[in-house]
Structure 1
Amino acid sequence: MSEVLACIDGSTTASAVCDYAVWASQRLQTSLTLLHVLDKTQYPQRSDLSGIIGLGTREHLLEELASVDQQHSKRALEQSHLILETAQARAIQAGISAPLMRQRHGSLVESLAAFEESIRLLVIGRHSATNDNVSEHVGSQLENVIRTVQRPALITCGDFLAPQSYLFAYDGSFTARKALQMVASSPLLQGLHCHLLMVGSDRTACDALLNEAAQVINTSAGEVTIAWREADVEPSIRTYQLQHKVDLLVMGAYGHSRIRQLLLGSTTSQLIASSICPLLILR
């Protein structure tokens, strides 16, 4: 695993994805690759027009239809290249010396699977209802990407803001401790203010676990704040984000608590949609 891979499309999220990918690449001191996927359902490379011959279609009309199909594919390729070139120029201006450009045909998940072994961090944008519909397949497949690709993923929302703090949703499980150790050993969030938040009914037990977690992350974080909440997980996280103006939410993709149910159950999309800041999902 050696690269930050940014999923770039033609929507309004592309700039933030590029900027967060640049930030991550510089923090991790690793290469940056910009990926644009031409979805095969939106940009067919060749249509099967042979079926209409039986309806008495003339040969020249069949040729015209084939030509239109080819022109459509050509325009899609040109648009894809322009999107990548624009993102590449933005990354270079931000200080990345040689960002790579990759263009793929197929579904987003299939394309990411092809690069999975080399991905250190995946950066992808979250689309909202107010976003334009250009290349909306990136947004619509977001949950599928998170469930399928076995690499850490940074999900962007809104404009780029270099993170100064992050909220780690902690549940005391083995996987949560492992995720916290990943954060502590990585340069990505080193020196930032870490907020450790735990949701549970037993405050005494939660405080004990939070203090243990604080010792783990204290060597990496610039400052550590621990917090306990008794309410439901999702509203507790959202309220804490708002109150403390947290720049980034960090969560493990697997666990054995209500947080696990929240991430892997039917409310996954709600969590992604409700967050007011980018999310870093750890595997």
Structure 2
Amino acid sequence: MCGGQGNGMADADQKKTPPDKSFPASATTRIPFAIALAMLAGCADSIGFLEFSQLFMSFMSGNTTRFGVAVANADWENVTRVASTIIVFCFGAFLGTLIAAWVGRWRLSILLTIQAVLMGIGLFMPWGTFAFPLHAYPIVLALGLQNAILQDEQGRSIALTYVTGAVVRFGTGLANLMLGTVAPSFWLQAPLWGGLSTGAVIGGVLQIRYGENAFLFPAALAALLALVAVVLTVARPGSTLVAGSSPPPDAGSHAKPSDAIH
């Protein structure tokens, strides 16, 4: 009898405690982190674009277009330069996703710390050659890794380093709003675009004034976000502020979880 009651209490406690999905289920942290990270990406991309002769640090659609143009012109040095950047970015997303799976509820803290460190390392890397811009690779790796920070339990992530998806969702969302079928995620698209574009303006201004040292700003922002994540993870263990069964990553504040807690 007591054993049955004990098992019942344990089951009740298990149901009360959100599973460790390592993704902020609460919009209180998910949305501000997403906007801040979009601003970080826009800032770093703008600095890199000016610093590395129009090479994108996070906008791989732009780099893919440049790759195609370089191939068409048989500009093999530029082909190597852009292709290697895309590969490094892809590897960052790959590596970040594996790290996130390994570290559980410390995902936000550890990935943001690694991102801050990589951006700092970029300032001390050798410049390399035009075809292999070693100096840019740590920044590109950090921004690729950033895309794994706000994934949900099914591997879907917010578009934190590019803006096309946000613009498309905002446009289609406006139409759906008129039709009365708008998704909750519609309301996050404009702030994401605003964060990324604001970061791009800040990055441009900083690069013009400080050159490559401007990368210290997005590095410091990543470090600050990492500190906030550490405090939340330590102070609120098991809280939906850092983990839990979550809605789709770009959902609005009132969206329901995508998976039932089990």
One fold, TM greater than 0.5? no
Q: Which has the higher contact order (CA 8 A, sep 6+)?
A: 2
| Bigger share in helix | 2
Q: Could you state the TM-score of these two structures normalised by the residue count of structure 2?
A: 0.24
Q: Could you state the TM-score of these two structures normalised by the residue count of structure 1?
A: 0.22
| Bigger share in strand | 1
